[in-house]
Amino acid sequence: MVRRKSRLEALFSLSRYQKRWGAARHTKAIDDFGPLKTSLVEPSDGKAKTGHIKAIDDHLANLRVEFQGRPEILYHHAMLIVLIRREYKVEETYARFRTLWEQEADFLCENLNLRWLISATDTFADHDPDMAARAIAMMVSVFATTIKIYETERFVSGSDALPALPEKIEQLQPAQVPLFEGMCLFRVGSDDTLRNMRWRLEPFFKHGATGRIAATVYDRMQDNDTAYARFRALHHRDRTGWW
């Protein structure tokens, strides 16, 4: 696996400085987030580009296209993440990011999509001084990444269009079906594994902003087209429900 650059290597990396040139133009401190919740990002005829954009001005202009018609606070949140990832005054910028979440977690969780909620947890996991917050954030990141990976496997194998086979579900019921190294397959329809996991997650969901994001991401994964939602639709044992 390719290692991260050492601090010394990063210090002498020209691209490290190039990618944040001009960042100071975008760092106005915000004391009152109220106006950002009611004002909307200007409409645009353009379409947001994907992929890496080197110049920070161009990157942030592209973000405004992505957030057109949405509350300015959502763009502001994304901008802070970009500045942090481009290593612009990280400690100061992260403090602003954390303040935003401390004051507006409910609004952000309600209005950000999963992409930006997960980006937020990645940011918490990288920079928060509270290791408990970092651990919860990392849990969310691993959870979401695992779903992304197996859903991609379903897509590339063509199995995303295949219906569940009743005979296979029936095969899981009488006894545990081995998976590997002592693990067994999930008993679709009745298993208590996800309910028990949900119970264990409850204390973490109550831990500050990262807990609020964790609860939001978990709930949305039960409604979007994931294995959680598909198994939820097949579940019939009320006392082992996990949603």
- Tell me the domain boundaries of the chain: 7-108, 163-240
Per-residue pLDDT band at 3 (split at 50, 70, 90):
low
pLDDT surpassing 60 at residue 2: no
- What is the rounded radius of gyration, in angstroms, for the C-alpha atoms of the chain? 21
Give CA–CA dist 72/33, Å, rounded.
9
Q: Yes or no: say if 76 and 30 are a contact pair by the CB < 8 Å rule.
A: yes
| Tens-place pLDDT, residues 59-104 | 888 899 999 999 999 999 999 999 999 988 899 999 999 999 999 9
**CA of 154: how far to CAs of 123, 157, 228, in Å?**
29, 5, 14
Looking at residue 173, its pLDDT comes to 86
Q: What is the pLDDT of residue 105?
A: 97
> Which position has the higher pLDDT, 163 or 7?
163
Pick the range with the lowest mean pLDDT from 42-56, 136-150, 185-199: 42-56
